[in-house]
Amino acid sequence: MFKIGSLFSGIGGIELGFAQASELFHTVWAIEKDHNACDVLYNFPEICLYENDVNNVAPELLEDIDILTAGFPCQAFSVAGYRKGFDDPRGNVFFRILDFIDVKKPSVLFLENVKNLRGHDKGRTFKIIKSELEKRNYTVYAKVLNTLEYGGLPQNRERIYIIGFSDRNTALKFSFPEKIP
């Protein structure tokens, strides 16, 4: 069994994808501050849900995990927003994700955000993210994928997926999925 911890869980879409991929994936805890999203997550009593801001939850108190997922707030990097990046408090949450990584030391990271994250601030934002993960000895892969082409979702939505592995041999076996015709 692979234990998943989820930051910025929303209604649990990322974790649902893991669960549908294999019964070996189990979300053990999730942190989400939006009450309406939590109303959905409360339907999964096997998940220890923290209806709270990630800044108010101590990672030391959470169960150890194998995989950390985070669909962290995108407004600071989105073309639709002001694009303030790390100067926007919502952009700084990436550094809070690093706190969870430093404490929990998951084997795998699965981060998701808007496609503009890669080009934000002439690529500097993404370079900082990649560099911070690599400093923690993660092998990092990133790719912009359109959900319409991967999984048959009726949604035309491009997102960047950042995957990190603490084990180099596992990382070498990884590849992003092929498009579904």
Provide the residue range defining the domain that includes 12.
2-172
Asked if 125 and 160 count as a contact pair (C-beta separation under 8 A), the reply is: no
Find, among 29, 35, 30, the residue nearest to 9 by Cα.
Answer: 30
pLDDT tens digit sequence for 20-32: 999 999 999 999 9
Catalytic residue among 14, 54, 68, 74: 74
Asked whether residue 177 is domain-assigned, the answer is no
Res 145: pLDDT: 94
Question: In this structure, what CATH number is given to the domain that contains residue 129?
Answer: 3.40.50.150
Domain count, the chain: 1
Asked whether residue 179 is domain-assigned, the answer is no
| Calpha distance 181→179 (Å, rounded) | 6
In the residue annotation, 38 being an active-site residue is answered as no
| Calpha distance 97→133 (Å, rounded) | 10
Res 74: pLDDT: 54
> Poorest-confidence range of 17-21, 91-95, 133-137?
91-95
Asked whether residue 178 is domain-assigned, the answer is no
| Token code pair at residue 135 | 């400093």
Q: How far apart are the first and last CA of the chain?
A: 31
pLDDT tens digit sequence for 60-88: 999 999 999 999 875 554 444 444 545 55
The pTM score is: 0.89
Residue 152 has pLDDT above 90, yes or no: no
Beta bridge partners of 109: 68, 164
